Amino acid sequence: MTQGTRSLHEDFFRTFYRLVYLAKIHQDNNQLIVECLDDFMQVMRRLFLDDDQIKIQISHGSIYLQDEKLPYRRELESLINNLHQYFEKRNLQGLRFSTVIQDAPVEEILAFSRTLNNTEQEEVPLNWLVEQFENLGLVWAEVVYEEDTPSTEQIPETDPQDQVQKRKEKARQCYFYALDSIKEVAEKISSAKKAGVRKPLRVIQNIANLVLEDEPIVLGLSTIRDFDDYTFTHSINVAILSICLGHRAGLSRESLPRLGMCGLFHDLGKVNISVDILKKPGELNKREHEEIEKHPLYSVIQIIKLQAAHDLKAKILLPPFEHHLKYDLSGYPKTTRKKPLSFFGRILNITDVFDAITSPRVYRHLSFSPDQALGWMLGRAGTDFDPVLLKVFINMLGIYPIGSLLELDTGELALVMDNGEKLDGTRPIIVLLTADGQNGYKKIGEADLAERDAQSGAFRRNIVKSLHPSTFGIQPAEFLC
């Protein structure tokens, strides 16, 4: 830890402890607490320059910030002892703050401080604290449990392939945690219970981090298709694709989770629509079409009802309303507005349609293969879709997007696992599949379609045509992630 980092970490702990102490004895408008809160937020902003979260931990008698141990010094003895006692009295191992705290109103941060203080009086402090965070809509604060605490053991170095496997496992966990979180929100809304956003926000932040670490792995997850759970998997896929497109379009790291939340909640209003309409196998009648076209407005209403900070909700309301409006505003809900779609709305407009038309549906068992979908969408650039963003999207996915099923001239079936950068994406890196003898398929290896025969110079494998994975009962993510 450098001298500058050490000083910053010490400043954080000093201002944090002073804030919770002053919150015990002063009202919100007291000058001391106002000044302390200002100092605390200045330190937070400096820490957020390098990280998208701030984590405090108490473990094995030591205090950590960002997994770095606060070194013992005589002048810090009183502060360290006070912090230890404060956390131990509340049976609290640590806290995690997200960048959203920077937009939180003063009253909300002080409410957090007083809630933390009051935890000491509860019989089961942690359970009570988590419940209070949910009730207060504190999406930027989270309890850190013991399994999250840093280990003092030396972590052995792993080879690159092991690291890739670990990232894949982490990505899978994030996806299914996201699935559980959006289902939980929908179920609470359907049962007229209060629904919060702490879990969804946390998992979206993790997905955004994974996109920055290894985009192809996360794009592989967006190929997950679930016939019965379409609305939920579709929402997660749209969130993933939106974060990836936002990143490629130059959005800041801090903006990506907010864009992901827009994607995750863009279809939340479908909880208001009858399952008989959503899963109707035949063509919808006029009344049913009109009801479906209300779901963007229903999504806005449901987002407003969520237990979350007002500032956060205000920032994720518009794009879900806009996602079916189309680039030229000819879509739905019908509106007299002349103002162009927001940037996030134009992103959702693209990612929502791509995932929808590449997914088999109860009323449409056949769907576009990924490359066919991009061709269809390109024909509607400038009317349905922002032409510039669509070009970025196509460049991101490649001519044969990750998860595309290909028939090769060797008679082999292959899934695209990486676009590659050779020959303009026409020669991706693939996973080779073969029948497993049980009406399914198994992976038999990987290959690069840019590979040539050493003697003739000809390509070893060539693409005959693209196919849709669902036709063969193939779930691409099972072989890619």
Q: Are 332 and 313 in contact (CB under 8 A)?
A: no
Q: What pLDDT band is residue 224 in, cutting at 50, 70 and 90?
A: confident
Helix-, strand-, coil-residue percentages of the chain, each rounded to 5 = 55, 10, 35
Determine how many CB atoms are found less than 10 A away from the CB of residue 86: 18
Residue 147 has pLDDT above 50, yes or no: no
Overall average pLDDT of the 456-479 stretch? 90
Residue 225 has pLDDT above 80, yes or no: no
- Residue 232 domain boundaries: 164-396
Overall average pLDDT of the 164-184 stretch? 85
Q: Give the tokens for residue 174.
A: 């994030």
- Give yes or no: residues 193 and 293 share one domain: yes
For residue 202, what pLDDT is reported?
83
Overall average pLDDT of the 269-290 stretch? 90
CATH number at residue 214: 1.10.3210.10
Distance, CA of 257 to CA of 444 (rounded, Å): 37
Distance, CA of 207 to CA of 155 (rounded, Å): 24
Provide the percentage of residues in the chain whose pLDDT is more than 90: 56
Q: Are 250 and 343 in contact (CB under 8 A)?
A: no
Alpha helix segments (H runs only) across 30-76 = 31-48
Overall average pLDDT of the 21-44 stretch? 93
Burial class (CB in 10 A: 0-12, 13-18, 19+), 214: middle
The backbone torsions φ and ψ at residue 293, rounded to the nearest 5 degrees and listed phi first, read: -70, -5
- Give yes or no: residues 87 and 193 share one domain: no
- Give yes or no: residues 252 and 389 share one domain: yes
Residue 125 belongs to some domain of the structure: yes
Decide which of 396, 421, 442 is a domain's last residue. Answer: 396
For residue 59, what pLDDT is reported?
78
Q: Give the tokens for residue 471.
A: 């036709």
pLDDT in tens, 240-263: 999 999 999 999 888 999 999 999
Q: What is the dihedral of CA 272, 278, 282, 284, to 10 degrees?
A: 30
For residue 111, what pLDDT is reported?
94
Mean pLDDT taken over the chain: 88
Determine how many CB atoms are found less than 10 A away from the CB of residue 34: 15
For residue 381, what pLDDT is reported?
97
Residue 158 belongs to some domain of the structure: no
Residue 439 belongs to some domain of the structure: yes
Decide which of 360, 379, 396 is a domain's last residue. Answer: 396
pLDDT in tens, 393-444: 999 999 899 999 999 999 999 999 988 665 567 899 999 999 998 889 999 9
Distance, CA of 92 to CA of 63 (rounded, Å): 12
Residue 170 belongs to some domain of the structure: yes
Q: 197 to each of 174, 190, 253, 377, 472, how far by Cα in Å? A: 15, 16, 20, 33, 37
Q: Per the structure, how many domains does the chain have?
A: 3
> For the chain, first and last CA: distance in Å?
36
- Give yes or no: residues 213 and 298 share one domain: yes
Residue 155 belongs to some domain of the structure: no
Q: Quick one: how far is CA 66 from the chain centroid?
A: 21
Rg (the chain; Cα; Å): 25
Residue 151 has pLDDT above 50, yes or no: no
Distance, CA of 13 to CA of 33 (rounded, Å): 16
- Give yes or no: residues 193 and 337 share one domain: yes
Q: What is the dihedral of CA 252, 257, 258, 261, to 10 degrees?
A: 150
Strand order across the 441-448 sheet: 441-448, 429-435, 413-418, 405-408, 463-467
- Give yes or no: residues 238 and 277 share one domain: yes
Decide which of 396, 429, 463 is a domain's last residue. Answer: 396
Least confident segment among 3-7, 122-126, 364-368:
3-7
Question: How many residues belong to the chain?
Answer: 481
Residue 156 belongs to some domain of the structure: no
Residue 1 has pLDDT above 70, yes or no: no
- Give yes or no: residues 345 and 460 share one domain: no
Q: Give the tokens for residue 289.
A: 């079409």
> Which residue in 165, 106, 111 sits closest to 133, CA to CA?
111
Q: Are 259 and 251 in contact (CB under 8 A)?
A: yes
Answer positive or negative: Cα dihedral of 203, 209, 214, 215: positive
- Give yes or no: residues 428 and 386 share one domain: no
- Give yes or no: residues 272 and 382 share one domain: yes
Residue 233 has pLDDT above 80, yes or no: yes
